[in-house]
Amino acid sequence: MSTSTAVEAQPDSKTRRYDRQLRLWAASGQSALENSRLLVISASATSTSILKNLVLPGVGHFTILDPATVTPRDAGNNFFLEGESSIGKSRAQEAVRLLAELNDGVEGKADTSSLEHILDTNPAYFASYTLVIAHNLEPKLLERLSTLLWADDTLPTLVVVNSAGFLGEFYIQFHEHTIIDSHSETAPSLRIDKAFPALYDYSTSLDFASMDPTDHTHVPYVVILVRALADWKAAHDGKPPQTAADKKAFKEAIRGMQVKSDEENFEEAEAQAYRCWTETGVPSDIAALFQDPQLSTLSPTSPPFFHLLEALRRFTLEPPHTLPLTSTLPDMKANTASYIHLQKLYKTRAEEEKAILKGFLSVPVDDVLVDSFVKNAHGLKVLRGKKYGTLNADSAALASNVASSSKAAAIHLALSALAAVGPQPTIETLTVAAQALLPPGTELPEDFSDAVGEMCVPFVLCFSSVSPMPRVSSPNADAVSPRFAHCSARSPTADLPNTAAFLGGLVAQEVIKMITKQYVPISSYCVVDLVETWTGTI
Amino acid sequence: MSPAVWTMDVFEKGNFVLLRLTLPLPPWPPTGRHDRYYDIDQILNTPGPRTDPAFLAGDGVKDFLRNQAKILVIGAGGLGCEILANLALTGFKDIHVIDMDTIDISNLNRQFLFRQKDVGQPKATVAAEFIMKRVPGCKVTPYFGKIQDKDDDYYMQFNLVICGLDSVEARRWMSATLVNLVDPENPESLKPLIDGGTEGFKGQARVILPTITSCYECSLDMLNKQTVFPICTIANTPRLPEHCIEWASVLEWPRVHGDKPKDTDDPEHIGWLYTVAAARAKEFNIEGVTWALTQGVVKNIIPAIASTNAIIAASCCNEAFKIATSSAAYLNNYFMLIGTDGVYSYTFEHEKREDCPVCGGESLDVSISSELTLEEFIDLLIERQDIQIKKPSLSTPTTQLYLQAPPQLEEATRPNLKKKVKELVAQNGEVTVTSTSLPFSLSLRLRFT
């Protein structure tokens, strides 16, 4: 049956609904989302903001775990509660009801039990979820939850989100995350410097001199370069252009091949000439993946990704010591026939090299996966995560973050201190708590006072709001003057709608990347300051 | 209570200008846990370390925010829905929204104020109703139409404007309109403009203080250049599926359908284009023409997701909240987010362009070849990243070089198109460029090389 004549009808309503996102993560990403199950702990404004951005694109299922009832405060700052009519009702149930309205294809469930009770009585509860999100969770429960979920790499990924007023941060706890389609913005090599036989033969067989002038202006630059390089090598002991003078001469040779002055294909060839002396090898970040410990312990039960990676490693050991050829040819000046012919050469060779790579596989792997792996080989990623809390337990690592990214570290320290101190912080208790995380003698970052100032206000300012807060230039426990000791809260517990929405978007982006295994999620803390509006990582 | 007024105050750093509210000193209110604004009031009751010293915490600022501030939202789409919800929750109670579009099924993956049953209805109206139902006490006034329908008096009534648009042209219009609105004698005429935009996992938010900071026009050259396929490729040497689709859309549609306008929202029209493009692709052995690609090319579809819109809209609304209340420093002046590889963002001050045709005052120097014809020169103006003017009309202080309309003048000036610019304009001569799509004229100074 002919494959090229089948004409599609207008897409179905689901495809139309998801059109704008399918253009980012395609049907494969969509299917991963639809098979995912999320657990969100608390129905805070931040939690529902995150969920909104995951229900809309169509995750399979979400559960909100929250024993609280809706207060006027909740109803005021949470869009997924319905004003006064929600007050006094279960916060989880109200939020689930209003979130589920966003997408008929998503299943929502409210669970009004307490997390503590579940941790005590039913630790297996979490296993059915793909990913768990916790916002402003009390530190002792968070520690229990993160330890439980870290115990086994089949348990769900944990996303920890903390916020206070204009400040926030989040962290993703995962063991290992492999990405085939990272949507890398670097194009794979066309291997002009190592032309495969069919390309070489085609390029060297063309008779440029006697060619029809119109055809001459339509020879793709790839062919021109392969030919020019072959001619150059023949005249230079088989070596490509090396010195600056060589390169200049090479470009002049290309210009010399022109029969008219305005042949755009030759102009393209000259502009792309660097491809002839930039040797195509295995990109260093891909070569680094070949050192992955998973490869030395590869077994039939290892994830297919690592079997493919091992096959790729073995592929690169053979000449021409490159990644498999790309089948995607960029557009270039050419007529239809010459472009399509060149495209066919690439496709055929890419299929051959894919078959070679498949020959190195020691277990059967689904063809669709092999195709995707080969096509995206230049952008493969392996991320390894750490347990939540690892950074705060490592005072030396924290100190080095203070030195290298002081602004982000200041916010992280302030939020960590706030979690430790609880909802009635003072500058003094926060400073002591933050200082305790750092090695003795390490100064808190300069911006720490600004960060904790968003949570507490010096006593004097409580009564006179017209003078600016004095800066604490090198704050530590001893240096805090007595007048800082009595503070009223600015926003230690404020779940501001804008901060909630901002974090809601950021966290949802990362969750989508984790679930679809496309694009590259963050593997450190992401810190947010919405006073000066910036994000940072530590 | 006296009405709130914006006053301008030059901050110690020099060009960083703070807008602040001058309000009578308010009493200190107690805030209960049982208040709907418990969270917001923590910010409004107490200054932070990076709060403008002039911030007067308490009832006055709350009164301004909740009873006096009038804010305009341009666009009720992906960003607009998010912006409206955030503004309502943070306590803005008099919100106006303009949008000329109706709801399409493809909006439902992110425009969360709309449901399947709303498809076909005006976005502005449905969004306004939803917000008023969900957030009691918030009044949202919709306008289903174009921003260009409204005059200066209309825009004068607002304290602040937030744009959540997907069109460069509309943004340029809004930015230029607000710059033109500024009357140095009247501080109230300065309307801060907060602009957001997204594409896939990327986006940006910025604060524009018209005439004071860089305006939208100042940053035109930051836009990604749109792919334009040369007509000769489309007609003679197609290589990509996109070339076949453009052939169907640009050449075949008018040839077959004459003057009948092409409606890219009509599935029958898309279906026709797709079928014609697919047939051409088959003829040339080109693979990859699909319905989705056809639609993407002819509608110039930009991928869009709820999460990116949420980030950018939140950032816009957060700036609006901080500017309206002075409760914290605000963005100076550009926030750019790239979420494809980790979370990367860049916050920086975009500088004003002295030769910005909207807010710069100086004319733009353009060097061109003495051989260039007026027609080629016009093409160059359309192409140039920092100009991007569609259908421009050109004149010198003394003569009309080429006018797009009315037809008689177009005909009268048409012969100039073939002439060399040098024959029409003196060295260092001034050329004024206008276009019906833009509410300003561009002043160029020509140098011949």
The CATH number of the domain holding residue B440 is 3.10.290.20
Looking at the structure, do residues B442 and B293 belong to the same domain, yes or no?
no
pLDDT for position A224: 98
Q: A20 in a domain, yes or no?
A: yes
CB contact under 8 A, A336 and B329: no
Q: A453 in a domain, yes or no?
A: yes
**Spatial separation of the C-alpha atoms in residues B126 and B76, rounded to whole Å:** 9
The predicted-structure confidence for A186-231, as pLDDT tens digits, reads as follows: 999 999 999 999 999 999 999 998 999 999 999 999 999 999 999 9
In A, which residues are within 8 Å of B42 by CB distance? Answer: 165, 489-491, 493-494
CB-count burial class (<10 Å; 0-12, 13-18, 19+) for B449: exposed
The CATH number of the domain holding residue B289 is 1.10.10.520
Looking at the structure, do residues A80 and A37 belong to the same domain, yes or no?
yes
Interchain CB contact of B230 with A (< 8 Å): no
**Spatial separation of the C-alpha atoms in residues A111 and B182, rounded to whole Å:** 55
Mean pLDDT, chain A, as a whole number?
Answer: 92
Looking at the structure, do residues B184 and B284 belong to the same domain, yes or no?
no
CB contact under 8 A, A505 and B307: yes
Residue A112 has pLDDT above 90, yes or no: yes
**Spatial separation of the C-alpha atoms in residues B45 and B61, rounded to whole Å:** 9
Residue B10 has pLDDT above 70, yes or no: no
Neighbours of B17 (CB within 10 A): 15
pLDDT for position A197: 98
**Spatial separation of the C-alpha atoms in residues B318 and B328, rounded to whole Å:** 10
**Spatial separation of the C-alpha atoms in residues B51 and B108, rounded to whole Å:** 39
Interchain CB contact of B246 with A (< 8 Å): no
pLDDT for position B12: 31
Looking at the structure, do residues B267 and B293 belong to the same domain, yes or no?
yes
The predicted-structure confidence for B92-115, as pLDDT tens digits, reads as follows: 999 999 999 999 999 999 999 999
**Spatial separation of the C-alpha atoms in residues B402 and B417, rounded to whole Å:** 7
pTM: 0.92
Looking at the structure, do residues B294 and B182 belong to the same domain, yes or no?
no
Looking at the structure, do residues B79 and B133 belong to the same domain, yes or no?
yes
Residue B102 DSSP label: B
The predicted-structure confidence for A113-137, as pLDDT tens digits, reads as follows: 999 999 999 999 999 999 999 999 9
Q: B317 in a domain, yes or no?
A: yes
In B, which residues are within 8 Å of A265 by CB distance? Answer: none
Interchain CB contact of A498 with B (< 8 Å): yes
Q: A54 in a domain, yes or no?
A: yes
Interchain CB contact of B38 with A (< 8 Å): yes
Where does B91-201 have alpha helices with state H?
Answer: 123-134, 152-156, 168-181
**Spatial separation of the C-alpha atoms in residues B366 and B353, rounded to whole Å:** 15
The predicted-structure confidence for A261-280, as pLDDT tens digits, reads as follows: 889 999 999 999 999 999 99
Task: Band the pLDDT of B47: cuts 50, 70, 90.
Answer: confident
Q: Which domain holds residue B413?
A: 364-448
Which of A14, A15, A22, A23 should be substituted to probe chain B, the one whose Cβ sees the most B Cβ atoms within 10 Å? A23
**Spatial separation of the C-alpha atoms in residues B275 and A20, rounded to whole Å:** 22
The predicted-structure confidence for A476-492, as pLDDT tens digits, reads as follows: 333 333 333 333 456 67
Looking at the structure, do residues A38 and A164 belong to the same domain, yes or no?
yes
Interchain CB contact of A505 with B (< 8 Å): yes
Going by C-beta distance under 8 Å and a sequence separation of 6 or more, which residues neighbour residue B434?
Answer: B392, B393, B395, B441, B442
Residue A55, min C-alpha distance to chain B (Å): 9
Catalytic: B232? yes
CB proximity under 8 Å: B 112-141 to A? 112, 115-116, 134-136
Looking at the structure, do residues B78 and B100 belong to the same domain, yes or no?
yes
Q: A192 in a domain, yes or no?
A: no
Residue B32 has pLDDT above 80, yes or no: no
Q: Which of B284, B299, B314 is the last residue of a domain?
A: B299
Looking at the structure, do residues A139 and A31 belong to the same domain, yes or no?
yes
CB contact under 8 A, B39 and A495: yes
Radius of gyration of chain A (CA): 29
Looking at the structure, do residues A40 and A176 belong to the same domain, yes or no?
yes
Q: B319 in a domain, yes or no?
A: yes
Please provide the distance, in angstroms rounded to a whole number, between the alpha carbons at the two ends of chain A.
56
Mean pLDDT, chain B, as a whole number?
Answer: 90
The arithmetic mean of pLDDT across residues B409-426, rounded, is: 94
Residue A459 has pLDDT above 90, yes or no: no
Looking at the structure, do residues B149 and B213 belong to the same domain, yes or no?
yes
For chain A, give the percent of residues with pLDDT over 90.
Answer: 87
pLDDT for position B437: 74
Going by C-beta distance under 8 Å and a sequence separation of 6 or more, which residues neighbour residue A200?
Answer: A226, A230
The arithmetic mean of pLDDT across residues B402-431, rounded, is: 93
Looking at the structure, do residues B310 and B417 belong to the same domain, yes or no?
no
Q: B387 in a domain, yes or no?
A: yes
Q: A418 in a domain, yes or no?
A: yes
Q: B28 in a domain, yes or no?
A: no
User: What are the backbone angles phi and psi of residue A419, rounded to the nearest 5°?
Assistant: -60, -40
CB contact under 8 A, A502 and B318: yes
Interchain CB contact of A220 with B (< 8 Å): no
Nearest to B55 by CA among A231, A17, A466, A253: A466
**Domain total in chain A:** 4
CB contact under 8 A, A10 and B270: yes
**Spatial separation of the C-alpha atoms in residues A98 and B80, rounded to whole Å:** 20
Interchain CB contact of B304 with A (< 8 Å): yes
Residue A32, min C-alpha distance to chain B (Å): 16
Looking at the structure, do residues A323 and A403 belong to the same domain, yes or no?
no
pLDDT for position B34: 63
pLDDT for position B362: 78
Looking at the structure, do residues B85 and B211 belong to the same domain, yes or no?
yes
Task: Band the pLDDT of B33: cuts 50, 70, 90.
Answer: low
Q: Which of B348, B383, B417 is the last residue of a domain?
A: B348
Q: B8 in a domain, yes or no?
A: no
**Domain total in chain B:** 3
Residue B1 has pLDDT above 60, yes or no: no
Looking at the structure, do residues A91 and A133 belong to the same domain, yes or no?
yes
Q: Which domain holds residue A512?
A: 13-181+497-537
Q: A3 in a domain, yes or no?
A: no
Task: Band the pLDDT of B364: cuts 50, 70, 90.
Answer: confident
Residue A89 has pLDDT above 60, yes or no: yes
Q: Which of A248, A276, A304 is the last residue of a domain?
A: A276
Which of B11, B12, B42 should be substituted to probe chain A, the one whose Cβ sees the most A Cβ atoms within 10 Å? B42
Nearest to A76 by CA among B415, B41, B23: B41
Q: A8 in a domain, yes or no?
A: no
Of A318-322, A351-355, A475-479, B350-354, the range with the lowest mean pLDDT is A475-479
Looking at the structure, do residues A218 and A250 belong to the same domain, yes or no?
yes
Q: A1 in a domain, yes or no?
A: no
Of A354-368, A499-513, B360-374, the range with the lowest mean pLDDT is B360-374
Largest CA distance in chain A: 92
pLDDT for position B388: 83
The CATH number of the domain holding residue B107 is 3.40.50.720
Q: Which of A318, A353, A384 is the last residue of a domain?
A: A384
Nearest to A221 by CA among A198, A195, A254: A254
Q: Which of A220, A242, A276 is the last residue of a domain?
A: A276
The reply to whether omega before A497 is within 30° of 0 (cis) is: no
Residue A189, min C-alpha distance to chain B (Å): 20
Q: Please tell me which residue in B81, B215, B232, B244 is annotated as part of the active site.
A: B232
Q: Which of B259, B278, B299 is the last residue of a domain?
A: B299
Q: B42 in a domain, yes or no?
A: no
In B, which residues are within 8 Å of A7 by CB distance? Answer: 274-275, 278
Looking at the structure, do residues A310 and A443 belong to the same domain, yes or no?
no
- Residue of chain B with shortest Cα separation from A70: B34
Going by C-beta distance under 8 Å and a sequence separation of 6 or more, which residues neighbour residue A135?
Answer: A40, A41, A42, A44, A46, A47, A50, A161, A162, A163
Looking at the structure, do residues B267 and B308 belong to the same domain, yes or no?
no
Going by C-beta distance under 8 Å and a sequence separation of 6 or more, which residues neighbour residue A308?
Answer: A361, A365, A369, A370, A373
CB-count burial class (<10 Å; 0-12, 13-18, 19+) for A171: buried
- Beta bridge partners, A5, equal none
Neighbours of A338 (CB within 10 A): 21
